[in-house]
Chains A and B, each alone.
Chain A
Amino acid sequence: MLTSGSVDVWVIVWTSILLSGTATLIALIIGLPVGYLVGSRRFLGRRAALVVFNAGMGLPPTVVGLVVAMTFSRRGPLGFMNLLYTRPVVVVAQLIIAVPVVMAITAAAVSAVPRELTMQARSLGAGALRVGALTLSEARMGLLAAVAGGFGAIISEVGAVSMVGGNLEGDTRVMTTAMVQFTRQGEYGPALALAVVLMAVVIFVNLVLTGFQTSGDRWERDGR
């Protein structure tokens, strides 16, 4: 089934992973530091920042798709870049969806690190960078959840990627948009094959997230 017919499902799977993976990577580069800063420091407006993160997580992906499509269309402010219906703009839209997720989960993971630990490190002479590294190391399961959460949010999204990508064969056709197309054409074989792969990805992401959730239990039980 996965190699059936004239439809090359693996090209589509690879496109999904490439685009969502790139978007997640950039989301991490942006989101991890910001999430860390908001999670670890006490500052005026911290609560407001957390509210913004959580609101961002609730942002409907289709709204993101609409705004990005309008911005990059020929008649939009960034139309001169001719990026609508290309891979880069798909990454941009997915990035906007993933960044709040990464920020929120990172902030939560970082703020869960006991303050005694960082205080002790600082009292032993560690600089800010070292303290940061230590905190991130302690929060590593949470950071893994941030990666999984960000990636999971965009790999199964269909509205935004359809609106800004155009489902172009071999270019911006990803698992979700392809499933919609094949179902509309009555080609259930390729659609199911893609569904199987997508489910496998989603299950893997959830295993990682559950690992984060239960890592606390493991620590209490085994002390590590």
Chain B
Amino acid sequence: MHHFKSAPRLRRLASVSLALFLVFSLAGCAARQAAAPKPASSDLVLASTTSTQDSGLFGTLIPAFMKAYPQYKVKVIAVGSGEALKLGQTKDADVLLVHSPAAELKFIADGYARVRKDVMYNDFVIVGPKADPAGVQGSTDTTAAMLAIQKAGAAGKASFISRGDASGTNAKELTLWSKSGIATPTPTADTWYLSTGQGMGETLKVADEKGAYTLTDRGTWLSMASTLPGLRIVLEKQKALLNQYGVIVIPGSKNEAGGQAFADWILGPAGQKVISEFDVAKYGQQLFIPNAK
């Protein structure tokens, strides 16, 4: 083998580069080894609702939580509130974030969890076709609005699209009909009443296409309004339209500790701050208002 100094220049350059590369790689490996060993992350199943998912909140909330608690890997299963509660019942979820207070209280009473805690609220709004054939705008309250929609529907001048999927939004809609003294409409008996059996996004699209009224949470409405040119808000800011979210930890679930950590975080100052700031810059208003006690 030739001496280094007498080897051709290119070969020298190549061997120096290779040596430097090896040195830096080894240094990098050593540095990584010196850093704290990454703990194995455990899966944490959060069952929540399609409305919350559709609003985009989880895109901000979950990464913030996982930054604070890197040992948990959150899997969000977004279904209707009814199904989320069923997942809690069968312990297929570790923690729930839903908005169906009556069903939640029944869940606790039936012994599937110890407690539910208020996390945040937003409100529902009634949206409808820009022309507002049922004259909902200017209704004194939700009862008047629902009566107006039913009357216009029966007269063939308007229609209403229901979620029809046992979701929190659906539960609220059914409550509004019954509070107004109207028997729950059905698609078979009332041709003006359609039921999609799907999430808020799909239901809003159907309402937009058919020029119909529907009940939606403000979060989903704000995030989708630009894609729904046929609709506008016709009723809002009514006490009956309040939408309260609750968090429930499932005792005896696979990752109850993780579920509790999530609940504690979202009820604590860090989580509440993330909620209060979510998308405010984008819409000029809060989508969700934190109200943990």
Contact = CB atoms under 8 A, between A and B. Distances in A.
Interface in A179-219: 181, 184-186
A81 to B, nearest CB: 11
A173 B164 CA distance: 12
A204 to B, nearest CB: 27
A17 to B, nearest CB: 19
A168 B80 contact: no
B196 A166 contact: yes
Interface string B80-93: 10110011000000
A167 B198 contact: yes
Given A73-B209, A166-B206, A173-B197, A184 B165 contact: yes
Interface centre among B82, B188, B198 (most CB of A within 10 A): B198
A168 B206 contact: yes
B247 interface: no
Contact of A186 (B83, B202, B206): B83
B80 A166 contact: no
B140 to A, nearest CB: 31
A166 B165 contact: no
A185 B198 contact: no
A178 B165 CA distance: 11
Contacts of A184: 79-80, 83, 165
Contact count band on B: 20 to 34
A173 B196 CA distance: 8
A14 B195 CA distance: 18
A93 B272 CA distance: 46
Interface in B59-87: 79-80, 82-83, 86-87
Interface in B228-264: 229-230
Given A73-B209, A74-B209, A169 B194 contact: yes
A170 B197 CA distance: 11
Nearest to A182: B197
A169 B86 contact: no
B205 to A, nearest CB: 8
Contacts of B147: none
The SS class assigned to the A binding surface is loop
Interface string B36-71: 000000000000000000000000000000000000
Interface residues of A, number: 19
A84 B211 CA distance: 12
Pick from A166, A171, A178 the residue with the most CB of B within 10 Å: A166
Contacts of A173: 197
Contacts of A177: 197
A171 B206 CA distance: 13
A23 B198 CA distance: 25
Nearest to B84: A186
A85 interface: yes
Contact of B80 (A84, A171, A178, A185): A185
A169 B198 CA distance: 11
Contacts of A170: 187-188
Contact of A185 (B83, B195, B208): B83
A181 B209 contact: no
A85 B79 CA distance: 22
A185 B202 contact: no
Interface in B159-186: 164-166
Given A167-B196, A185-B83, 13 more contacts: A74-B230, A82-B209, A85-B206, A85-B210, A166-B202, A167-B197, A168-B187, A168-B194, A169-B187, A173-B197, A184-B83, A184-B165, A185-B79
14 contacts: A74-B230, A82-B209, A85-B209, A166-B196, A166-B198, A166-B205, A167-B196, A169-B195, A177-B197, A181-B198, A184-B165, A185-B79, A185-B80, A185-B165
